[in-house]
Amino acid sequence: MKLRKVSAAAATALVLTLTATACGGDGDSEGGSGSGGGKKIKIGIKYDQPGLGLKEPDGSFSGFDVDVATYVAKELGYKPDQIEFVETKSADRENALARGDVKLIAATYSITDERKAKVDFAGPYLLAHQDLLVKTDSDITEATDLNGKDLCSVTGSTSAQNVKNDFAPKANLKETGGYSECLAGLQSGSVDALTTDDSILAGYAAQQQYKGKFKLAGLKLSNENYGIGVKKGDTETVNKVNAALEKMVKDGAWEKAVKDNFGPANYKNEPAPKIGTIVK
Ligand code: GLU
């Protein structure tokens, strides 16, 4: 009996040791871990936004946010194989940073006062605008045309918030977890329009399976200043990321990332924003 008790205690100790080892063991559990060659950084991105953040069928990642995140990580001392990309859906972003699931978020993440109460932002690194995606033969041309229509957007996004508060309070807004669900609804006809940033919509419209089926309304309904989300109070990281973004613009890597990722969708992006300056 006594022997069994000792064994149980030993087993518990072993489990605790293993758990500590699995956590990296350097006390840094906030999206980055380890030291020297084995260190890793976790970065939140979108998985379903072609041209911005996309998980490819082979498991690799592509898009402007991915390229920006990879550049920033390099400046922070992480090689591409030391980055772990994690999916952060629109409604999960603040919590993912607060919990320390990820160190950074580069996921079409607009800087807003409401979000700034919960997280810090570096940037902005892109200026986009809210727009509508509709079927090619749709007669929706203005935001007010949406009143009484079925509209899809994503929970926790500025796009859904703006529709409810300003653009079309009488629209029948359906909120989903991600934009790909809205896209399916637009294709099946269960919704009349999908609203979010023009940068995201252009990527969808250019996809092979949707070519010629959808169009952007071309309305600049809002200014969406994309920032890199960082845990509230982590000023050191914000400063480092800002320096990295400035360097990325200066050395031409920003322009290259724009061409590589927005070129195929023919998305006419705004010029590089000035770090620290929000366009209201
Ligand atoms: N940029 C907007 C936002 O941060 C819409 C895109 C998104 O949901 O990520 O809410």
135 and 240 assigned to the same domain: no
Q: How far is the CA of 122 from the centre of ligand 1 (A)?
A: 16
SS3 3: helix
Which residues lie below 8 Å from residue 245, measured CB to CB, with a gap of 6+?
A: 68, 72, 122, 123, 125, 228, 254, 275
Return the pLDDT at 35: 53
- Full residue range of the structural domain in which residue 187 is found: 130-216
Instruction: Give the Å distance between the CA of 90 and the centre of ligand 1.
Output: 6
Which residue's C-alpha comes closest to atom 8 of ligand 1? Answer: 157
Number of domains in the chain: 2
Q: Say if residue 84 is in the same domain as residue 164.
A: no
Q: Ligand 1 centroid vs 125 CA: distance in angstroms?
A: 14
Q: Is 151 helix (H, G, I), strand (E, B) or coil?
A: strand
Question: Given this model, what pLDDT does residue 19 score?
Answer: 38
Q: Cα(140) to centroid of ligand 1, in Å?
A: 22
Residue 277 lies in a domain: no
Cβ–ligand 1 contact at 108 (below 6 Å): yes
* CATH code, 206: 3.40.190.10
Q: For the chain (length 280 residues), average pLDDT per consecutive 10?
A: 42 39 41 69 98 98 98 98 98 98 98 98 98 97 94 97 93 96 96 98 96 95 98 98 98 98 97 97
Same-domain pairing of 122 and 234:
yes
In whole angstroms, give the CA distance from residue 42 to residue 60: 15
The answer to whether position 274 is within a domain reads no
Decide: 49 in ligand 1 pocket, CB within 6 A. no
CA-nearest residue for atom 6, ligand 1, is 108
Q: Are residues 78 and 183 in the same domain?
A: no
Residue 237 structure tokens: 């990281």
Helices (H), strands (E): how many in the chain?
9, 14
pTM of the predicted structure, to 2 decimals:
0.88
Cβ–ligand 1 contact at 195 (below 6 Å): no
Q: Would residue 176 count as lying in a domain?
A: yes
Q: Is the CB of 145 under 6 A from ligand 1?
A: no
Ligand 1 pocket: which of 200, 221, 270 to mutate (most atoms within 8 A of CB):
200
Q: Which atom of ligand 1 is nearest to the CA of 112?
A: 4
pLDDT at 124 (0 to 100): 98
